[in-house]
A and B are shown apart, each in its own frame.
Chain A
Amino acid sequence: MLGAAGAGLLGRNALAEGVALDTRLPEGLRENAAMEALPGKAPLIRLSSRPPNYETPLAAFRTAITPNNQFFVRYHLSGLPEQAELARDWKLSVGGDAARQPVAFSLAELQRLPAAEVIAVCQCSGNRRGLFQPHVPGVEWGLGAMGNARWQGVRLRDVLARAGVKPEAVELFLDGADGPPVAETPDYRKSIPISRALHEDTLLAFAMNGEKLPLLNGYPVRLVVPGWTATYWMKHVTQLTVSAKPLDNFWMKAAYRVPRNLFATDAPFTTQQTAANEPITRILVNSVVANLRDSDRVAAAGFSVEGVAWDGGAGIQRVELSTDGGKAWRPATLGENLGRYSFRRWSQRLSAPAGAVEVRVRAVSRSGEQQADHLVSNPAGYHHNVVQALRLVAA
């Protein structure tokens, strides 16, 4: 009964259909966004159709694992590959000046390597950008540019071992089968530190929650970099280049950067740092309420608040709720621990005197990091992990 908005609506104006988009999102977005089902997907919140940028409705975060057909879709450039083409022609090439030899894998060859899996949150760096005040330009995501899945594939380091990584390697360059609308547009290519490429949890995944990857989530193979934001999780990956030099392109040098030392990280991306800024890396501790929205009505006698919490790999230590403006906090009950990179479910029952009540929720990681009380502004609108404060009406 509460928070039922979101699921099951088709291709209509979001506001008209009662999809309560956060009123802090840009007005133009709220007028234009709609629930719409892409091929193979349940209805998602359409922010843009070409390239497709669709976010997951809030109700999907009532479970720890996000269903494949509700998993968010994000592309930078509008040249998307076709499923049939990928199924027929896809191969993975591995080489580069810091690889001992070039090698190539078909999907069947890749699948013969030892199996590996990890449950991990895939979160767009710009998740919640639309909630920034003042607004910053970009894709104006609300709460749903993220999802949590069981990623199944092989370890990237096992793939790289077949090529052989020379000691002088500093980065692994990543390229996928998607491309730009015009040849002159910088293709979406990224790199990760070689140490991250060789990390035991970094995978090349060909399955997600027990099924092959949906086309729009990277079929047939995508990179999975647990703990780091999705900009590095290259979809439809076709080319891995082991390099003795840092990647020099728009997507590394200008995009996806944050002011130097403004946000904590587990592993600074040293080969891409400048005096002023550095690449975004680790996901910050965060939480979301999945069953209630701002201005919802609740029963004064008792109502439940539930959602998920996550961070960049320390794991969730506790989730706390406050109904007195943040003076007193009481712990939520945590759900099953699915691993340190996963969403962790939490829930709590509250009651409140009739009238307006503000519910705040904050997550604390096992490394002691907690959500921000105030927005940490940065030019591109990344890392929004401000404590939610829902204004509810108890009756």
Chain B
Amino acid sequence: MRALRVAAVGLALALPARAAVTELRPGPGAEVTAANCAACHSLDYIMMNAPFLDQAGWTAEVAKMVNVFRAPVEPSLMPEIVAYLARHYGPAPR
């Protein structure tokens, strides 16, 4: 239902505000990652899939968001986002 859907986006914002202030770990790429990922979903999705996703795993997830879910992410930003996620939300370096 189109009319309902348009109205809908408001409620997501009315849900508990905590998501909006969920902080990513600081580091190069944190801001661009937060801005692009949080455009469609709370950053909880990153935390809960950590730290078991490695570079290849995060690459696949970001690609899925862009290619399957059509997230409006500038392709040129994808490597920076993946690098940030793999470094801060991937397995600890050996």
Q: Which of A's residues lie within 8 Å of B, judged by CB?
A: 11, 26-29, 31-34, 36, 38-39, 46-52, 78-82, 85-86, 89-90, 130, 134-135, 137-140, 177-182, 184-186, 236, 238-239, 250, 254
Q: Do A50 and B15 touch (CB < 8 A)?
A: yes
> Roughly how many angstroms separate A28 CA and B68 CA in the complex, as a whole number?
25
CB-CB nearest in chain A for B52: A135
- Judging by beta carbons under 8 Å apart, are A28 and B10 in contact? no
Count the A-B residue pairs with Cβ separation under 8 angstroms: how many? Answer: 136
Give the 7 A-B CB pairs with smallest separation, nearest first.
A28-B50, A49-B19, A184-B70, A179-B5, A48-B44, A32-B47, A29-B48
Cβ contacts A to B, 20 pairs, < 8 Å: A29-B47, A36-B16, A38-B15, A50-B41, A79-B12, A80-B8, A81-B5, A85-B4, A85-B7, A130-B48, A135-B49, A138-B49, A139-B45, A140-B49, A178-B8, A179-B8, A180-B69, A181-B9, A182-B40, A186-B68
Q: Which residue of A lies closest to B42 (CB)?
A: A50
Are A82 and B48 closer than 8 Å at their CB atoms? no
B69 and A28 contacting across the interface, CB-CB below 8 Å:
no
Which of A32, A180, A254 sits near B48, CB closer than 8 Å? A32
On chain B, the residues within 8 Å of A27 by CB distance are 50-51
A33 and B19 CA atoms in complex are apart in Å by 11
Within the assembled complex, what's the spacing in Å between the Cα atoms of A52 and B44? Answer: 10
Contacting B8 at CB < 8 Å: which of A26, A79, A186? Answer: A79
Chain B residue with minimal CB distance to A37? Answer: B16
| Further contacts, 10 of them, CB under 8 A, given A36-B16, A46-B16 | A28-B50, A32-B22, A36-B18, A48-B41, A51-B41, A82-B4, A89-B3, A138-B49, A181-B41, A185-B71
Alpha-carbon distance A50/B17, docked complex (angstroms): 10
A34 to B41 alpha-carbon distance, docked (Å)? 17
For A130, list chain B residues within 8 Å (CB).
Answer: 48
Is there contact, CB below 8 Å, between B1 and A254? no
Q: Which residues of A contact B28 (CB under 8 A)?
A: none
Distance in Å from the Cβ of A129 to the closest Cβ of chain B?
A: 10
- Please report the C-alpha to C-alpha distance between residue A250 and residue B64 in the assembled complex, in whole angstroms: 11
Residues on B with beta carbons closer than 8 Å to the beta carbon of A52: 15
Docked complex Cα distance between A89 and B4 (Å):
8
Complex Cα spacing A185 to B40, Å = 10
Residue of chain A at shortest CB distance from B69: A185
- From B4, B12, B22, B50, contact of A26 by CB (8 A): B50
Q: Is the CB of A50 within 8 A of B52?
A: no
> Contacts of A177 on B, CB cut-off 8 Å?
1, 4-5, 8
Question: Which residues of chain B come closer than 8 Å to A236, judged between CB atoms?
Answer: 4
The distance in angstroms between the C-alpha atoms of A11 and B18, with both chains bound, is 9
The answer to whether B16 touches A38 (Cβ under 8 A) is yes
List, in ascending order, chain B residues with CB within 8 A of A139's CB: 45, 48
**What are the residues of chain A within 8 A of B41 when measuring CB–CB?**
48, 50-51, 78, 181
Report Cα–Cα, A39/B40, bound state, in Å: 21
Contact (Cβ within 8 A) A51 B12: yes
A250 & B68 in contact (Cβ 8 Å cutoff): yes
- Given A81-B11, A182-B40, does the pair A26, B18 have CB atoms closer than 8 Å? no
Q: How far is the CA of A27 from the CA of B3 in the complex (A)?
A: 40
B8-32 near A? 1/0 per residue, CB < 8 Å: 1111100110110010000000000
B53 at the interface (CB under 8 A from A): yes
Q: Is A32 touching B44 in the complex (CB atoms < 8 A)?
A: yes
B68 near A254 (CB under 8 angstroms)?
yes
Bound CA–CA A82/B89 (angstroms): 34
**B68 contacts A49, C-beta separation under 8 Å:** no
Contact B11 A82 (CB under 8 A): yes
B22 contacts which chain A residues (CB < 8 A)? 32, 49
A137 pairs with B4, CB closer than 8 A: no
State the Cβ distance, A392 to closest chain B Cβ, in Å: 28
Of A38, A50, A90, most buried by chain B (CB within 10 Å of CB) is: A50
